[in-house]
Chain A
Amino acid sequence: MNDMTVPKIPISPVLAPVDFPQAAAPAAPADSRVAFAAGRPAFRRLVLRGAFLELVTAGFYRFWLATDMRRHLWSHTTVEGDAPEYVGTAKQLLVGFLFAVAILVPINGGYFWLGLEAERVQAFASVPLGLFYYVFLQFAIYRSRRFRMTRTVWRGVRFSMTGSGLNYAWRVGLWSLLVFISLGFALPWRQAALERFKMRYTSYGNLQGGFEGTGSGLFKQGWWLWLVCWGLVALPVLAIVLSTGFEKLAAVLMLAFCVQVLLAPFIYARYKSIEWRWWASGIRFGDVRFSSDLRPGAFVGLYWKVIGWSCLLFLGLTIWMSATFGIGFSLVGGAGTVEQKMLMLSQHWGLMAAVAVGYVAFVLAFWAVMRIYLIHDVWQRVAQSVTVHNLAAASEVAAQQGELAGAIGEGLADSLDVVGF
């Protein structure tokens, strides 16, 4: 059969090339890794410039700086080629802050008066008030998370978060009490319960969020850390029990203390990396899953760098203070004891101004270090370790018409000095 016709091979209809009106988009890969675009020098410049402006504006610039930092971090993270967008503005944060001030003024006043009355009755009666503040802070944290969620947009659809901050706050209170009573043993279950609560009320468009990490899962990964922690705490106690002489005891105690201080960053870094990995692996949005392969030692380098920088900055501050006082002493001259000179000097406006400038510069530099290492670098490491599975399930998500959360939570968290992304 020497015909030139192409043999008609029976082709299943599914495989036959069909002329779709739309150019067939390449099938989305089942797994895609989250990417974080390089941009550390730009972030560093942003943070340093922000620190200087904070100094000049007596701290008011922090709202613009927070917004710029979030914009940078959000836009440098890409999932399957698309970066989320932070649509919040600094003005919203400022308004939220003003609301928070209005709320906190009577609360602070009441706290002050109650504290005064309580102290007269009994010395430690102000402790319950501190606990109240802790729970109130959790409310602020929940509300500020809600603000950030509703201001995050990916591929044109906004995240949303409902739920009550008060519900969250008392839950945190009870779980924290349990953790305290159990000497830290219940921590994994606390984290799991709270994440489940938060993700239950979080959604991406019409994709419901969820959390599938379990307390026992986290416990299995990190129980030995808990033992190590308590072992370190028990070291001085052990030393006291086993020691023979008094001089040896002092030396052993010093040694135990040094060991504690040196090992603490390692332990904390290890715990944080385990927690982040467990958290990222438990997040769900509809059928979309995440997983993380964060190395256990990912944060150790970061924490030691922060410690190193802090020591350097503190050294700088000490040199500045000594120089200021030294110059002041030599200028004061005249007779008088050291104490009298000190008294006169410390009341001089010039010295106070120099001390204030040095102190504020130190704090701003310290904050810049924290932001670069503990916000940017942590975010980068965590983001680059995450893989998104089954992203195809999120390819046709409709926008949810939820309401935008106000920034009161952000304002409260800012006034109560909560640090976050």
Chain B
Amino acid sequence: MTIQSEATTTSAPPVFGEAVYFDGRSNRKRKVALRLEAALEIFEQGLHVGAWPYGEVRSVHGRPGTMRLRCTKALPLARLEISEPAVQQAVAALCPALEAAGQGRVKTGKIVFWSLAAVCSIVGLSWFGIPFAADRLAPYVPFAFEKRMGDAVDGQVRRLFGGKECDSGPGHAAFLVLVNKLKDAGGLELPFQAHVMSSGMPNAFALPGGRIYLLEGLLQRARSPDELAGILAHELGHVQHRDGMRRLIQTGGTSFLFGLLFGDVTGAGAVIFVSRSMLDASYSRDAERNADAFAVGVMHKLGRSPTPSGELLFRITGAQTDKSLTILSSHPLTEERLAEMKKADRAATGPELLSAAQWAELKGICKWQAPNLRFDTLPGRTQSPQPKWPSPGPGVNPGQGRGD
């Protein structure tokens, strides 16, 4: 063996370069000599230690100025480190696949392409998949669960809008008459509660769990029971379709998906917010359209026209002619809905939903206060039922106590 190696050393071309070699089994630092023949030959003290085929040599990250090489055919952690620039250039010239892909080398362009593809697929999933999932899942969520969610939010909502609930008196009775007519006509199976709040904002909305809120501001702007009934029927439609639950799943799913996938590294919170609100608006546009269809059905069944409620909406929100706002606004174009309701217009074939007296009482629902029943009012008294201590007679100082 020794003779043979001596024979090869004497007839071989002179040593080309020096390098440091790690065999991948121990951490001993070995000084080796390199010979660039048919393959990269490695010699330590004249003994042939290894041969790396040029096509299998790859470069890995090393100290700046040092060329660190590995071989796909050798042990995974075997390394050659070359410091002399001339040798580095020679090796680089001979090895065709030095910077080849694999072992973590991916072109930046590919990363960008696949990232954008991933983003598109996530957005697509959110746009189509989540509404679909929400549609499928919402009916299966027990109503009790939805009601609990609504209860959790209820307190906050009341605080948000301020004001108190107007829940007593003849106005409230009239309100319940109206709501029950709508419920019977719509065939609503789910339990719901309707409340009137004394806030001045013109709005009505439905929360998950069958809670419907009518704000006094909207009540005051309504000119006839038909106008109010259409809007209440619209909210009943939301309850019937479990839109609260659906929206919860959609919003939760979207923000979860976006937030988890993009993480906080890029601070893509803004991106999440924008995409979320854009997507949320499109979901609720469909929900609004369906609720409108429900309301139209209910009004027709009661023999009334749904158009007046469209006019009420138009009066409140004003004509929204700026089309660029539509994708972000959570209600479809008011003119569009008005047009839909005009199409559904019908001559009145049923009785008035509320009598004139009931309507007047409903309008005054939040101003009504319980009378003191010790002093019953005279029948036929038409003035507003304000509690009045019956005046004991002129001359008594009102500031004095009653002395009972």
A and B interact physically:
yes
Which A residues have a C-beta under 8 Å from some C-beta of B?
21-23, 25, 37, 39, 53-62, 64, 67, 71-72, 74-76, 78, 82-83, 85-91, 101, 104-105, 108, 112, 116, 119-120, 153-158, 205, 344, 347-349, 352-353, 355-356, 359-360, 362-364, 366-367, 394-399, 414-415, 417
B27 touching A359 by the CB < 8 A rule?
no
- Interchain Cβ contacts under 8 Å between A and B, 25 examples: A25-B31, A53-B111, A58-B266, A59-B263, A60-B118, A61-B111, A64-B108, A74-B61, A78-B63, A82-B29, A86-B61, A91-B106, A105-B260, A119-B152, A154-B27, A344-B322, A348-B328, A352-B328, A356-B271, A356-B274, A359-B270, A363-B266, A367-B266, A395-B28, A399-B26
Interface string of B42-66 (1 = CB under 8 A from A): 0001000000000000001111101
A156 touching B115 by the CB < 8 A rule?
no
- Compute how far the CA of A199 lies from the CA of B258 in the bound complex, rounded to whole angstroms: 37
B119 CB-CB contact with A under 8 Å: yes
A359 touching B25 by the CB < 8 A rule?
no
Which of these, B27, B45, B104, B151, contacts A21 with CB under 8 Å? B45
CB-defined contacts of A105 to chain B, threshold 8 Å: 260
Which of these, A57, A157, A352, contacts B111 with CB under 8 Å? A57
B68 CB-CB contact with A under 8 Å: yes
CB-defined contacts of B81 to chain A, threshold 8 Å: 82
With both beta carbons as reference points, the residue of chain B lying nearest to A104 in the complex is identified as B260
Interface string of B16-33 (1 = CB under 8 A from A): 000010111111110100
Which of these, B64, B79, B152, B271, contacts A58 with CB under 8 Å? B271
B64 touching A76 by the CB < 8 A rule?
yes
Indicate whether A76 sits within 8 Å of B63 (C-beta atoms), given known contacts A120-B152, A349-B328. Answer: yes
Which B residues have a C-beta under 8 Å from some C-beta of A?
20, 22-29, 31, 45, 60-64, 66, 68, 77-79, 81, 103-104, 106, 108, 111-112, 114-116, 118-119, 148-149, 151-152, 252, 256, 260-271, 273-274, 278, 322, 324-325, 327-329
B270 touching A75 by the CB < 8 A rule?
no
- Compute how far the CA of A400 lies from the CA of B305 in the bound complex, rounded to whole angstroms: 83
- Compute how far the CA of A420 lies from the CA of B31 in the bound complex, rounded to whole angstroms: 36
A415 touching B260 by the CB < 8 A rule?
yes
- Compute how far the CA of A19 lies from the CA of B270 in the bound complex, rounded to whole angstroms: 73
Indicate whether A67 sits within 8 Å of B104 (C-beta atoms), given known contacts A37-B64, A156-B23, A348-B324. Answer: yes
Which of these, A88, A349, A360, A394, contacts B324 with CB under 8 Å? A349
Indicate whether A157 sits within 8 Å of B77 (C-beta atoms), given known contacts A37-B64, A53-B112. Answer: yes
With both beta carbons as reference points, the residue of chain B lying nearest to A105 in the complex is identified as B260
CB-defined contacts of B269 to chain A, threshold 8 Å: 359
A64 touching B267 by the CB < 8 A rule?
no
Which of these, B60, B64, B262, B266, contacts A85 with CB under 8 Å? B60
- Compute how far the CA of A348 lies from the CA of B103 in the bound complex, rounded to whole angstroms: 46
Indicate whether A157 sits within 8 Å of B27 (C-beta atoms), given known contacts A75-B61, A120-B151. Answer: yes
- Compute how far the CA of A60 lies from the CA of B61 in the bound complex, rounded to whole angstroms: 23
CB-defined contacts of B119 to chain A, threshold 8 Å: 57-58, 60
Shortest Cβ gap from B84 to chain A (Å): 15
CB-defined contacts of B78 to chain A, threshold 8 Å: 156
CB-defined contacts of B22 to chain A, threshold 8 Å: 155-157
- Compute how far the CA of A364 lies from the CA of B271 in the bound complex, rounded to whole angstroms: 13
Which of these, A71, A119, A154, A364, contacts B267 with CB under 8 Å? A364
Contacts A91-B106, A120-B148, A395-B28 supplied; 12 other A-B pairs, CB < 8 Å: A57-B112, A58-B119, A60-B119, A83-B63, A90-B104, A156-B24, A347-B329, A353-B274, A356-B273, A356-B274, A360-B271, A396-B28
Which of these, B29, B112, B114, contacts A56 with CB under 8 Å? B112
CB-defined contacts of B104 to chain A, threshold 8 Å: 67, 88-91
With both beta carbons as reference points, the residue of chain A lying nearest to B269 in the complex is identified as A359
With both beta carbons as reference points, the residue of chain B lying nearest to A158 in the complex is identified as B77
With both beta carbons as reference points, the residue of chain A lying nearest to B272 in the complex is identified as A356
Shortest Cβ gap from A152 to chain B (Å): 11
A156 touching B26 by the CB < 8 A rule?
yes
CB-defined contacts of B111 to chain A, threshold 8 Å: 53, 57, 60-61, 64
Which of A83, A355, A414 has the most C-beta atoms of chain B within 10 angstroms of its own C-beta? A83
Shortest Cβ gap from B68 to chain A (Å): 7
B61 touching A71 by the CB < 8 A rule?
yes
- Compute how far the CA of A39 lies from the CA of B119 in the bound complex, rounded to whole angstroms: 34
A39 touching B64 by the CB < 8 A rule?
yes
Which of these, B28, B62, B265, contacts A75 with CB under 8 Å? B62
Indicate whether A153 sits within 8 Å of B77 (C-beta atoms), given known contacts A61-B111, A108-B256. Answer: yes
Indicate whether A83 sits within 8 Å of B26 (C-beta atoms), given known contacts A59-B268, A360-B266, A417-B263. Answer: no
- Compute how far the CA of A344 lies from the CA of B329 in the bound complex, rounded to whole angstroms: 9
Which of these, A75, A87, A356, contacts B63 with CB under 8 Å? A75
With both beta carbons as reference points, the residue of chain B lying nearest to A42 in the complex is identified as B64
A83 touching B62 by the CB < 8 A rule?
yes
A395 touching B115 by the CB < 8 A rule?
no
A85 touching B62 by the CB < 8 A rule?
yes
A116 touching B103 by the CB < 8 A rule?
no
Which of B68, B104, B116 has the most C-beta atoms of chain A within 10 angstroms of its own C-beta? B104
B263 touching A396 by the CB < 8 A rule?
no
Which of these, B60, B256, B267, contacts A359 with CB under 8 Å? B267
B270 touching A356 by the CB < 8 A rule?
yes
CB-defined contacts of B115 to chain A, threshold 8 Å: 56-58, 60-61
With both beta carbons as reference points, the residue of chain A lying nearest to B78 in the complex is identified as A156
Shortest Cβ gap from A65 to chain B (Å): 9
Shortest Cβ gap from B125 to chain A (Å): 13
CB-defined contacts of B252 to chain A, threshold 8 Å: 112
With both beta carbons as reference points, the residue of chain A lying nearest to B328 in the complex is identified as A347
- Compute how far the CA of A60 lies from the CA of B64 in the bound complex, rounded to whole angstroms: 28
CB-defined contacts of A58 to chain B, threshold 8 Å: 115-116, 118-119, 262, 266, 268, 271
- Compute how far the CA of A125 lies from the CA of B101 in the bound complex, rounded to whole angstroms: 52
Which of these, A53, A82, A396, A415, contacts B26 with CB under 8 Å? A396
- Compute how far the CA of A56 lies from the CA of B104 in the bound complex, rounded to whole angstroms: 20
- Compute how far the CA of A78 lies from the CA of B62 in the bound complex, rounded to whole angstroms: 10
Shortest Cβ gap from B123 to chain A (Å): 10
With both beta carbons as reference points, the residue of chain B lying nearest to A350 in the complex is identified as B324
CB-defined contacts of A156 to chain B, threshold 8 Å: 22-27, 77-79
With both beta carbons as reference points, the residue of chain A lying nearest to B119 in the complex is identified as A58
With both beta carbons as reference points, the residue of chain A lying nearest to B274 in the complex is identified as A352
Indicate whether A85 sits within 8 Å of B61 (C-beta atoms), given known contacts A58-B271, A105-B260, A359-B269. Answer: yes
A399 touching B77 by the CB < 8 A rule?
yes
